[in-house]
Amino acid sequence: MNKMYVNVIHRADRGPAMREGLRFQQDAAHEAGIRTTILMSYEGLCDPEMVAYVKTQQQLGDEIGIHFHNFMCEEMRPFAESDDMALYLHSTASKKSIVDRIFQTFEEAFGFAPVSIGGYILDSETILYIKQKQPQVKAAITNCFEEGVKMFEGNNNSWYLFSDGGPWGAFYPSRHHHLAPARSAEEAIDIVSLPHLNRDMVLALTSRDDYFSSHPANVMRAKANDGPRSPYMRRFVDQWIQQKDYNGFSYYSVFVSTPWVMPGNIFVDDAEHAKALYVDSLQYLRQKADEGEAELATMSGFADAYRLLAGPDKPEVNLWKDILAGTKRQTFWYVDSAFRCAIDLNIGGTICDLRPYVGELSGDMGPDTEILWNGNHPYLIAKEHRGHSGHRCVVSIGGASASIENVRTGGRVGRSAEGKHQLIVDPIVLEVGGHEVTLESTFTFEGAGRIRIERRVAAVSDPDVEVGVAEVFDGCYGTTIYPEDMRGIGLHAEGAAESASLAYAYRSGKAAVESPKRLSATVPKLRTRVSLVPEPGSADRGSVQEGVLFKPYYKLSSEKTLKQGGATATWLILEQA
């Protein structure tokens, strides 16, 4: 039977208040029959009373590991080059020194080396170093899914944690970027990478996603609770359980640091309500385990299970519905080692986010790196950051046209005859030039950086009318809300009889061909080429076009004229350039 694997993780920090909070959390977990994973911060390791308490929990069967938050203190200062509170923002040499000191202190305190570790971000060079020096490590929390630009804005532009663009679940990290899944065992760092928390996969695009996560007290910050009750939190668990039916299993992490269940937290209206929400969440997970829907595990226990369930480059999908307001909105996600993609069914099935991993860019941060603080993985499409970007279908009749973006729809997860993941979009009806056109769309994720997009004109109010069906890719690149320098991008249109190219110069340049074979944009900064490749007979005309400074995007367009019952198939392909 497919299951959702659950980790309940606590962090042990310094001081009597932290010990009191941890004691409450541990007691709540044990009352629910849950073994926890306790991750010791360096400050916690420097507190003899906290170490002594955690040892009592180890004797009860809980797992003990390391967390790389709350390490910068008086005891650490001699081992670090600066007083930066974030490990991932230290230089390579400083990262190594800090890591060595924390592992040494842990082993002196507990008498063994840990197999589970965590941080808000652990970049690839840090994970590699830890794995080389501490080969017993099995599992690591390495990222905070979609905590980046919107989190920065929502925290008074002062929270320097940029982690947009990676997977939402477990994966084997690649050696070049901690947010990119590895293609093979040779490319992988031999560790199971985990997210800090699970997120609401609709609101992760549209909101600060720390409001809506597997962190029960965060729903208080989002005002999604009614005192000690939060039906939203239970619906959230149920949505994550549903994902196992698409992937064979799912992963769920509850990681609440102790200040969230203690008096004095400025984001918590009532500490007793926060405690009640925490207890209810654990009890509900216990109920789901008793019903056979979930399996409760330590971090290393899940890592062992994951190695049996998934190898490198195992794709994962997620279909999420709006569980906060109860609208019909759905968002679909897909990730593998070549790219991560999000499709917003609220705007007709438009690709609204696309992160290419094929360029194998480095994600290592610090004062001795090129990217410094910016751990976000770059995008080609990010509609929430760069509003005009997206891949959409445009239908035209005569001089009138309509985009699928104007129609809300739904969808379901399927499989192709070859077993590949599919998003099957519910038919939509477009009003075009006084006619109604019913359009069906299917996305098939073929692997190796390829998506097959099929459109079918299921019905036209006048069956004799000719309908233009165009695949339109409006792209850019970047990691934030601001445009990057597009000069250097090359646009190319290859037709059956002729070809044309453009160098991006912000001059509205356009190149068009008949019977296009490939329409592409090469983005050197991302070492990536993105292409639309129509299947034979699926395109009559195509074009590539550059934008202007006020609208700095590039456009790839492939169009086919169809009648009722006609269909077209186009490949969206990402390759290393």
Query: What letters, b where the CB count within 10 A reaches 16 and e where it falls short, cover 92-105?
Result: bebbbbbbebbbeb
Query: pLDDT above 90 covers what percent of the chain?
Result: 94
d(CA 378, CA 381): 9
Spatial distance between the Cα atoms of 324 and 326, rounded to a whole number of angstroms: 6
Q: Is 514:497 a contact under the CB 8 Å cutoff?
A: yes
Count other Cβ atoms within 10 Å, centred on residue 366.
23
Nearest to residue 308, comparing CAs of 472, 192, 467, 422?
192
Separation CA 302–CA 295 (nearest Å) = 9
In a domain? residue 328:
no
The pLDDT score that the predictor gives to residue 294 is 98
d(CA 341, CA 24): 40
Residues ≥6 apart with Cβ < 8 Å to 419: none
CA angle, residues 230, 236, 242, in degrees to nearest 5: 150
* CB-count burial class (<10 Å; 0-12, 13-18, 19+) for 2: middle
Residue 305 sits in the same domain as residue 449: no
> Is residue 313 left, alpha or beta, with left meaning phi > 0 and alpha meaning psi from -120 to 50?
left
**Same domain for 14 and 39?**
yes
Mean pLDDT of the chain: 96
What value does the mean pLDDT take over residues 458-464? Answer: 97
Same domain flag for 221 and 90: yes
Number of other residues whose CB lies within 10 A of the CB of residue 454: 17
pLDDT value, residue 269: 80
Q: Is 227 in contact with 280 (CB distance < 8 Å)?
A: no
Give the DSSP H/E element, type plus range, for residue 401: strand 400-403
* 201 and 78 together in one domain: yes
What pLDDT score does 264 carry?
Answer: 86
Residue 1 has pLDDT above 80, yes or no: no
pLDDT at 246 over 70: yes
For residue 243, give both structure tokens: 């994902």
Q: What is the pLDDT of residues 157-209, one digit of tens each?
A: 899 999 999 999 999 999 999 999 999 999 999 999 999 999 999 999 888 76
Task: Identify the pLDDT of residue 209.
Answer: 67
Examine the pLDDT at 239 and tell me if it is beyond 90: yes
Angle, CA 141 vertex, CA 138 and CA 147 arms, to 5°: 160
Does 221 reside within a domain?
Answer: yes
Residue 211 DSSP label: G
Of 184-188, 204-208, 337-341, 470-474, the poorest mean pLDDT is in: 204-208
Cα distance between residue 153 and residue 125, in whole Å = 28
Looking at the domain assignment, is residue 451 inside a domain?
yes
Q: Which of 321, 352, 375 is a domain's end point? A: 321
pLDDT in the model for residue 30:
98
Same domain, 91 and 174: yes
Regarding whether 352 and 277 lie in a shared domain, the answer is no
| 412 and 298 assigned to the same domain | no
Angle at which helices 48-59 and 16-31 cross, to 10°: 10
pLDDT value at residue 154: 85
Task: Tell me the per-residue pLDDT of 393-446, one tens digit each, with 9 for 90 and over.
Answer: 999 999 999 999 999 999 999 999 999 999 999 999 999 999 999 999 999 999
Q: Which of the residue ranges 118-127, 211-220, 363-372, 506-515 would you say has the lowest mean pLDDT?
A: 211-220
Rounded to two decimals, the pTM is 0.97
Nearest to 557 by CA among 497, 468, 465: 468
Domain span holding position 8: 3-321
Give the pLDDT of residue 207: 80
* Per-residue pLDDT, 210: 77
Please give the biggest Cα pair distance in the chain.
Answer: 82
- Whether 360 and 308 map to the same domain: the answer is no
Q: Assess if residue 297 is contained within a domain.
A: yes
Q: Name which of 530, 4, 435 is nearest 248 in CA terms.
A: 4
Residues 252, 347 within the same domain: no
Is the residue at 132 inside a domain? yes
Query: What number of residues does the chain have?
Result: 577
Q: Which residue, 287, 321, 355, sits at the end of a domain?
A: 321
Tally of structural domains, the chain: 2
Confidence of residue 221 (pLDDT cuts 50, 70, 90): confident
Q: Which two tokens stand for residue 241?
A: 């359980």
Q: Which of 387, 390, 406 is nearest to 551 (CA)?
A: 387
Residue 468 lies in a domain: yes
Alpha helices in 298-410 (DSSP H): 299-309
**Residue 155 neighbours by CB under 8 Å, 6+ apart:** none
Q: Please check whether residue 151 is in contact with residue 480, taking contact to mean a CB–CB distance below 8 angstroms.
A: no
CATH number at residue 133: 3.20.20.510
| Whether residue 171 sits in one domain with residue 232 | yes
Say which residues have a Cβ less than 8 Å from residue 357's Cβ, sequence separation at least 6.
174, 177, 180, 181, 337, 338, 339, 340, 377
Assess whether pLDDT exceeds 90 at residue 211: no
Residue type, 300: S
Q: Are 280 and 222 found together in one domain? A: yes
In degrees to the nearest 10, what's the CA dihedral of 226, 229, 230, 234?
A: -160
Would you say residue 76 lies in a domain?
Answer: yes
pLDDT (tens digit per residue) in 535-553: 999 999 999 999 999 999 9
Stretch among 99-108, 126-135, 207-216, 508-517 having the lowest mean pLDDT? 207-216
Local structure of residue 150 (DSSP, 8 states): H
* pLDDT reported for residue 523: 98
Query: In this predicted model, what pLDDT tens digit does every residue of 496-509 receive, in sequence order?
Result: 999 999 999 999 99
Tokens at residue 300, please? 């290393």
Any domain includes 327: no
Do 493 and 519 fall within a single domain? yes
DSSP state of 346: G
Which pLDDT belongs to residue 316? 98
Number of neighbouring beta carbons within 10 Å of residue 368: 14
By DSSP bridging, strand 490-495 and strand 516-523 are antiparallel
